Amino acid sequence: MLDYGHFIGGKHVKGASGRAGDVFQPMTGEVRAKVAFASKAEVAAAVENAKAAQPAWAATNPQRRARVMMKFLELANRDYDKLAEVLAREHGKTVADAKGDLQRGLEVVEFSIGIPHLLKGEYTEGAGPGIDLYSMRQALGVVAGITPFNFPAMIPLWKCAPAIACGNAFILKPSERDPGVPMMLAELFMEAGLPAGVLNVVNGDKEAVDAILEHPDIQAVGFVGSTPIAEYIYGKGCSAGKRVQCFGGAKNHMIIMPDADMDQAVDALIGAGYGSAGERCMAVSVAVPVGQKTADILVEKLIPRVESLKIGPSTSADADFGPLVTAAHLKKVKDYVDIGIKEGAKLKVDGRNFKMQGYENGFYMGGCLFDDVTRDMRIYKEEIFGPVLSVVRAKTYEEGLKLANDHEYGNGVAIFTRDGDAARDFAAKVQVGMVGVNVPIPVPLAYYTFGGWKRSGFGDLNQHGPDSVRFYTKTKTVTSRWPSGMKEGAEFVIPTMK
Ligand code: NAD
């Protein structure tokens, strides 16, 4: 059995707290590894290493820092298949989907290679008599990232690549459910020439997270995970004086207008609703057909497609999706289906009793489809995070828009239509951070920013793109004047440009 410790000061270290957890292989249900849970002292050791390494790294010119990113990219591409297989085995998603997880992370590494350009400041010559004014962006120091189970390559890379490229040292606390890939990524960064101590991985649970939030030498914390934890980390981190951004849960709606191409809409719902077993923060979990006729056609087309979804082990080449991450999460998702039935929603496809032949202990379930879900039901209000799609019928476009706007989450949303006016109106009025027009999972590319609104995001700046550089640096503005430009005598009034 594998034994994950921590990665501190450029090398693997064994856990010393005496506390550890199990990492499962969801497709078989077996325990694949033990993962150490860091104590406060182990987090402090990682911070010491990071603090020692950071000044020299920040003083390394940005082109050299970019070259480390380039080399890392080359090595990650060399090990692509190996990384994807470990990811699939620990998470449960298919290998093909694991490759996408890795790829969307590497695209942010590609973005971070532009750091010499991204860090350029501003300069004004002659801002006053003999006065020049300029601004620069400087690294914060030691920063940390706390990441969820569902994208164990992508989100750690979204966090650490821009932070490190900016000249910070980084402490990563990945999910304790699938820490294998984050550990491999840290090794690859070392092989790429990143100095020891610039990237450290501490595994663990709440104790490690609290140690990060309480450590006075950690300047900023980026979090991705569920909303209750996001809110906790945002509050605790901010009150400790840190810069904090937290991205939380989601309930993503897809509005289907009567003029939409229904076959395309169904394809989109099947992929975005059930891909990765619905364990994506940008999964579509609510379909909102506008008008009874649209709803009837949609549900009739969806039923056979949900019934014929191919569920298989993560290593299967032709599975649409694999098992869920743990037995506990599987139970939680099935419980939500029970709740939906009790609440009066119509379960059109029931995947609760699906068993995978030859993998009877794996954490599998089939796709579920609910019709006639209403806004007061728990299955509508709460994030299920499984292969369960709810159809909420809306009479009008305005009602569909209002549903998305009234929901407490505001991560992603989509509209399917051929009507440019409707799409434009929707994009302007919807209270959600990421909007798709005939695109069901509108995850922006690396050079734009990613972030939800309302209770899907806490903090001012988004992830990756230009906001990541703003989040991981602080701006300094210098006003300079040389002796030849200075007048004699003290100035007692505030200088102005009058
Ligand atoms: P989670 O909140 O359970 O865990 C996230 C991280 O927080 C992990 O590293 C975990 O160890 C830590 N953590 C868990 N409980 C804690 C506690 N009590 N105190 C301190 N730290 C704690 O989330 P998850 O189940 O790993 O991930 C799924 C969730 O993440 C879903 O809600 C999903 O929508 C969300 N998510 C959001 C985005 C986004 O960008 N908005 C992206 C991916 C996932």
Residue 65: per-residue pLDDT: 98
Band of pLDDT at residue 491, cut at 50, 70 and 90: confident
Contact of 35 with 47, CB cutoff 8 Å:
no
Greater pLDDT, 16 or 496: 16
Q: Could you tell me the distance, in angstroms and rounded to a whole number, from the CA of residue 147 to the centre of ligand 1?
A: 6
Ligand 1 atom nearest to 230, measured from its CA: 2
H-state helical runs in 172-225? 180-191, 206-214
Weakest mean pLDDT among 40-54, 118-132, 338-352, 367-381: 118-132
pLDDT above 70 covers a percentage of the chain that reads 100
Q: Could you tell me the distance, in angstroms and rounded to a whole number, from the CA of residue 444 to the centre of ligand 1?
A: 21
Ligand 1 atom nearest to 175, measured from its CA: 9
Ligand 1 atom nearest to 281, measured from its CA: 34
Residue 186: per-residue pLDDT: 98
Weakest mean pLDDT among 125-129, 309-313, 358-362, 449-453: 125-129
Mean pLDDT of 19-39: 98
Instruction: Indicate the burial class of 342 (C-beta count within 10 angstroms; 0-12, 13-18, 19 or more).
Output: exposed
Q: Could you tell me the distance, in angstroms and rounded to a whole number, from the CA of residue 111 to the centre of ligand 1?
A: 25
Ligand 1 atom nearest to 151, measured from its CA: 43
* DSSP state string for 76-129: HHHTHHHHHHHHHHHH-S-HHHHHHHHHHHHHHHHHHTTHHHHT---EEEEEET
Choice from 6, 93, 175 to test ligand 1 binding pocket (greatest atom count within 8 A of CB): 175
Whether 368 is catalytic: no
Burial letters 395-404, b for 16+ CB under 10 A, else e: eebeebbebb
CATH topology classification for 2-248+456-478: Aldehyde Dehydrogenase; Chain A, domain 1 (3.40.605)
pLDDT at 426 over 90: yes
pLDDT at 177 over 80: yes
Band of pLDDT at residue 420, cut at 50, 70 and 90: very high
Mean pLDDT of 327-348: 98
Residue 368: closest CA among 321, 436, 404, 409:
321
Residue 364: closest CA among 28, 1, 15, 115:
28
Task: Return phi, psi of residue 310, to 5°.
Answer: -95, 115
pLDDT at 230 over 90: yes
Amino acid symbol at 441: I
pLDDT at 485 over 90: no
Band of pLDDT at residue 488, cut at 50, 70 and 90: confident
18 φ/ψ sector (left φ>0, alpha ψ -120 to 50, else beta): left
Task: Give the integer Cα–Cα distance in Å for 44 and 4.
Answer: 19
Band of pLDDT at residue 163, cut at 50, 70 and 90: very high
Task: Give the integer Cα–Cα distance in Å for 415 and 421.
Answer: 12
Mean pLDDT of 27-41: 98
For the sheet containing 368-371, what is the strand order? 346-349, 368-371, 388-391, 284-289, 252-256, 412-416, 434-437
Residue 369: closest CA among 285, 290, 280:
285
Q: Where are the domains of the chain?
A: 2-248+456-478, 252-437
Residue 196: per-residue pLDDT: 98
Task: Give the integer Cα–Cα distance in Å for 33 and 24.
Answer: 7
Band of pLDDT at residue 487, cut at 50, 70 and 90: confident
pLDDT at 495 over 90: no
Pocket of ligand 1 (CB under 6 A): 146-151, 173, 175-176, 205-206, 209, 224-226, 229, 247-250, 281, 383, 385, 411, 452, 456
Q: What's CA 498's distance to the chain center, in Å?
A: 48
Task: Return phi, psi of residue 442, to 5°.
Answer: -85, 65
pLDDT at 483 over 90: no
Task: Return phi, psi of residue 463, to 5°.
Answer: -95, 160
CATH topology classification for 252-437: Aldehyde Dehydrogenase; Chain A, domain 2 (3.40.309)
Query: 91-114, pLDDT tens digit by residue?
Result: 999 999 999 999 999 999 999 999
Neighbouring CB atoms inside 10 A of 495's CB total 10
Identify the residue whose C-alpha is closest to ligand 1 atom 10: 175
Q: Could you tell me the distance, in angstroms and rounded to a whole number, from the CA of residue 175 to the centre of ligand 1?
A: 8
Residue 399: per-residue pLDDT: 98
Contact of 456 with 433, CB cutoff 8 Å:
yes
pLDDT at 235 over 80: yes
Q: Could you tell me the distance, in angstroms and rounded to a whole number, from the CA of residue 245 to the centre of ligand 1?
A: 13
Choice from 24, 157, 224, 325 to test ligand 1 binding pocket (greatest atom count within 8 A of CB): 224
Contacts of 466 (CB under 8 A, 6+ apart): 118, 447, 449
Contact of 387 with 368, CB cutoff 8 Å:
yes
Q: Could you tell me the distance, in angstroms and rounded to a whole number, from the CA of residue 174 to the centre of ligand 1?
A: 10
Strands, DSSP E only, in 204-308? 218-224, 243-247, 252-256, 284-289
Band of pLDDT at residue 267, cut at 50, 70 and 90: very high
Identify the residue whose C-alpha is closest to ligand 1 atom 26: 148
| Mean pLDDT over the full length of the chain | 97
Mean pLDDT of 57-80: 98
